[in-house]
Amino acid sequence: MTRLCCLLVLIAAGLRLAPHSPDAPRMAGPIPPDRIVKLRINDPRPWEATPMRLVNDTGRGTCVASIIDTRAFRQQIVEPAPGDVQARKGRMLAPHRTPAAREDDAPNDLVAVEDVSDTPTRPDALFAGISNTGWDPPDCTVAVGPNHIVSTVNTSIAFFSKTGTKTFQQPLDNSGTPGFFEPQGALNFVFDPKVIYDRISGRFVVVALEYYSSGTAYVDIAVSDDSDPNGTWYKYRTSSVVNVGGTNYWVDYPGLGVDANGIYVTGNLFDFAGTSFGGGWVRSILKSSVLAGGTASFADLRLASGSSYQVADAWDGDRAVLVHRGSNTSVILTAINNPFTTPSAITRTITVPSNTAPPDAGALGTAAPLDTLDGRIMNAVVRGGKLYTCHAVSGTTRALARWYQVNLNSWPNTSTNMPSLAMSGSISPASTTESTFFPAIAVNARGDVAVVHAASSTAIYPQVRAASRRAVDASGTLGAPVTLAAATSSPGGSATSRWGDYFACAVDPVNECTFWGIGETRNASGWTTAINSFTVTPSADQDGDGLVNAGDISLMLLQFGDCACCTGDLDQNGIVDSGDVSLLLLQFS
């Protein structure tokens, strides 16, 4: 199975790079969009994509690391030239479409709350992320470490300080100096990247996909050696050709998450002929095998039913769980037993308020509606035994971002237990023409929930917004959304435009309180991305009983002293002290 990987390493004199195909000449900077189709080549090393042959829907593999120091790259920042020419990544792939989720369940009486609370969301930092790379859509994500931010798009990666200073940017493919995944053998079609910060190990984790019409495909994985992305990364180019019953499938639309023991990558399986859907798929990578650049050990599991599984990224003490939309009245949770050896799935079906797939969203100044996708789950997180997830649904004439909180009730650690829906809500702007979509959800140490999302209508250019709630807020409610960034133009033409295809939201590990988000905007030169931080103001009503009284003072006094992200830190300076008591007394009832 070691043939699954590229065995290149960093050497003292520089990087020993994979040879370039004669059909793909080396280029300084990203490939111009008008040449992408011409440069889509057959994989010159097909033996490296040996199919994973699944037996009873499972298989195991290994991969040797490439140890790469980004500081050795000849040029630290490679940015695309301005321009509004974009190539649709979907046109580079074989025809593929996930089957629609079941819509035939009888409607239920559950309600997704649309009420707005008085919880304020306070924007803090704002700076530009990666701009137009020639690919459409950007598929933007962001991860936050103690001192650095890493962002990915189609098809680049960049490192920033928390004040927005860019220290590194490279294409993910082989058009950089070198490209981020080029030393492992990545060619010119690397797409659908995602990045997260693993708070447990203190590492950044990046995943991206490759696909070539010759019948090869890869999942590229990179793990930083510490919490500073500028430096050494352990990188793995693993085959994602999956053989099921004699048919080879490739992996699309990844999910990414971690728990204490593993790194998990999910995806959809499509055959190379574009005629068959193979179900969902998860690769479970033993985390201890990669944290020091060792040989990665992983196991694959095909999930024969369902599609577009996302990994609920797990905090300390929780297990990663997979989530997908089951039907018009359900989401399905999947836990993987024995994930690194003989994986098997156990599932729980959660009944949620009735919903259908969302319509496209309008945008100011264009006849091209924005594609809000098909109602699939967008992202998820598990913290403190609670799972939070979100997607877009139909609000009759518009798309609405919807979110759920599921109490796991000790499942899956206690396999016989049944999780239960605790609350759900939809982000429903007062203007009935405005759509909300591409939600990304996160929860901080205080129990605040934030949902970063897109908003658009024929009366406004698309925006990046955030709405949040405090743990003491009424069930299902979020505060009024605030605009974090706004586009100044919309896509041209009349055909449906891709916008997203996903946003991201993360929690700062320094105080475990501040949220960071990323979303797509647009200007005259094409799309760009906006990176924001924001906070949720704590409530003086510490016990959530609707009153501010002596009981709340008592709870605040129990937190006196250094107390980052405590509910009693009303002025959010990291200390619960007399200043916070004074603020509480101003609201005494």
What are the residue boundaries of the structural domains of the chain, listed by start?
2-93+108-536, 550-585
Task: Report pLDDT for 89.
Answer: 76
Give the relative orientation of helices 550-557 and 578-585 as an angle to the nearest 10 degrees: 170
- Token readout for 140 is 């933007």
Dist CA 153 CA 140 (whole Å): 5
Q: What is the pLDDT of residues 141-155, one digit of tens each?
A: 999 999 999 999 999
- Picking from 390, 382, 392, 400, the residue whose alpha carbon sits closest to that of residue 443 is 382
Q: Are 157 and 172 in contact (CB under 8 A)?
A: yes
Tell me phi and psi for residue 553, to 5 degrees.
-65, -40
pLDDT of 54 strictly over 70: yes
DSSP state letter for 227: S
pLDDT of 82 strictly over 70: no
pLDDT of 29 strictly over 70: no
pLDDT of 40 strictly over 60: no
Q: Are 267 and 310 in contact (CB under 8 A)?
A: no
- Other beta carbons within 10 Å of 95: 9
Distances (CA, A) of 124 to 70, 380, 484: 30, 24, 9
Task: Report pLDDT for 6.
Answer: 38
Distances (CA, A) of 49 to 52, 175, 214, 219: 9, 21, 11, 10
Dist CA 516 CA 504 (whole Å): 8
pLDDT of 250 strictly over 90: yes
Dist CA 357 CA 91 (whole Å): 23
pLDDT of 2 strictly over 60: no
pLDDT of 234 strictly over 80: yes
Fold of the domain spanning 2-93+108-536: Methylamine Dehydrogenase; Chain H (2.130.10)
DSSP state letter for 31: P
Dist CA 130 CA 527 (whole Å): 9
Tell me phi and psi for residue 459, to 5 degrees.
-100, -10
pLDDT of 68 strictly over 50: yes
The neighbouring-strand residues paired with 88 are 136
pLDDT of 370 strictly over 90: yes
Q: How confident is the model at residue 14 (pLDDT cuts 50, 70, 90)?
A: very low
Distances (CA, A) of 369 to 360, 361, 494, 559, 572: 6, 5, 8, 50, 41
Task: Report pLDDT for 3.
Answer: 40
The neighbouring-strand residues paired with 128 are 530
Compute the radius of gyration of the chain from its Cα atoms: 23
**525 torsion bin: left (phi>0), alpha (psi -120 to 50), beta (else):** alpha
In the numeric block, the tokens 């065995």 are attached to 7
Average pLDDT estimate for 128-143: 94
Distances (CA, A) of 3 to 50, 52, 211, 236, 343: 7, 11, 17, 12, 23
Q: How confident is the model at residue 405 (pLDDT cuts 50, 70, 90)?
A: very high
Average pLDDT estimate for 371-377: 96
Find the DSSP H helices in 377-521: none
Q: Are 391 and 402 in contact (CB under 8 A)?
A: yes
Q: What's the mean per-residue pLDDT of the chain? A: 91
Task: Report pLDDT for 358.
Answer: 97
pLDDT of 4 strictly over 70: no
Sheet holding 203-212, edge to edge: 66-69, 232-239, 216-224, 203-212, 190-198
- Picking from 389, 412, 431, 446, the residue whose alpha carbon sits closest to that of residue 563 is 446
Q: What is the pLDDT of residues 172-226, one digit of tens each?
A: 999 899 999 999 999 889 999 999 999 999 999 999 999 998 899 999 999 999 9
Give the chain's length: 589
Task: Report pLDDT for 49.
Answer: 85
- Other beta carbons within 10 Å of 473: 23
Average pLDDT estimate for 68-90: 83
Q: What is the three-state SS of 330-371?
A: EEEEEEEECCCCCCEEEEEEEECCCCCCCCCECCCCCCCCEE
One-letter amino acid at 273 equals A
